[in-house]
Structure 1
């Protein structure tokens, strides 16, 4: 019986390759390492959803999935009747099967409305969904693609997770986002008494060689990190074909990106196992 670990992929700065990293690792683990994976797309832009459906599903998001409310928004819909507690949908109501090893909880633009609610119980709904549907017993890993903003559903993702992984580009704007993220997570840990660990930081979208300026920014940034922040040895590099998207937006469809994702996925598993071994 699997006891999955849940990992949020998050940075408070957009354009850092977060979604590409999430779906790349998910696809590699499912396809090449035979792991059972669930991707949860909690980013209102739902780019992970569009990419995975385009590659693996015959269903149309707007014609088939959205009308049936098979998206994450079903978890967060406000109550329409007076009940003791809101109902949590079953996994079969909302999870889309992509292939034998890869499932998807589709994203939804309507999530932008969730953040306007003052009902803090919304924050705990994703965790309840995982628990009540016993998803940890079904999947080896559950990967959550988070938005680059501090919202109700960002908190929901983090509150459901065992770890969070930070994709980061080497530029000053991306690095500033990590400071905001750290503050937000520290507050969540304090308020909810939630045990979540930083799995590490992954440098993304690197050129083959760093410029002198990028090297200086990297060194300055790493000097500000605490001694416990793990920096992945594996990175992702800029792949022009992936940016053009001739074979879609899934990085494992491109040889150079597949090499990057392969190394990252192996290190990803290794780091989780080391954390688990340390806790024993």
Structure 2
């Protein structure tokens, strides 16, 4: 028999719906005002549009050269994710399978790095980047994302690798599999649930990041979507109609990405809870 539907369950459902509506209000304002004229936004930002202006999107597409900034964001996000997954998964596996004082201390350093605010290291980072000649370049920005993203990714992988049975790896070695073969053929496929989680978390962070690209990328041709969108919100002028349309264009790919991986997210959570 199923659980009895009680008054408490009904109240919790209503509360959940109200909280969901509260979180959806900002999306409503962005979507509704992205198809209004600037004057209509100033008159009543909460009202539904009397005239839908899809021309806002076409203007923004040309003004910020959306295909170019989209490609820059895509390259940075994809390459950073690939590097973070490879580096973090291999490092976590090595630390777990070769326990020792050095690896424990190293792991503590990585975990400690997670609590250091970016603002405390951004000036030394820019000085070091200038000395190495990696500023104002997409590869240089990707390298910096490696440094800032590895601690959390390694922490997540480190906990998940412990759930992989050691006997599987030993059997593979007996069959003549090399160390790299054991990891890539045996261990890494078993890390799929946590890999999906790592990719999602890093994608949301890197795609929407504003401060680090602002500091590193000075060339307008290297701008990411957040940097291009910020051009509509200057100190003395704010083009809300163009800016909100640019926001919609910027968040649409990440929403599609999230919906595409939704099935894998649920599987990952279920697998993690069972383990």
TM-score (norm 1): 0.26
The structure whose residues are more often helix, as a share, is 2
The structure whose residues are more often strand, as a share, is 1
TM-score (norm 2): 0.26
The structure with the larger Rg is: 2
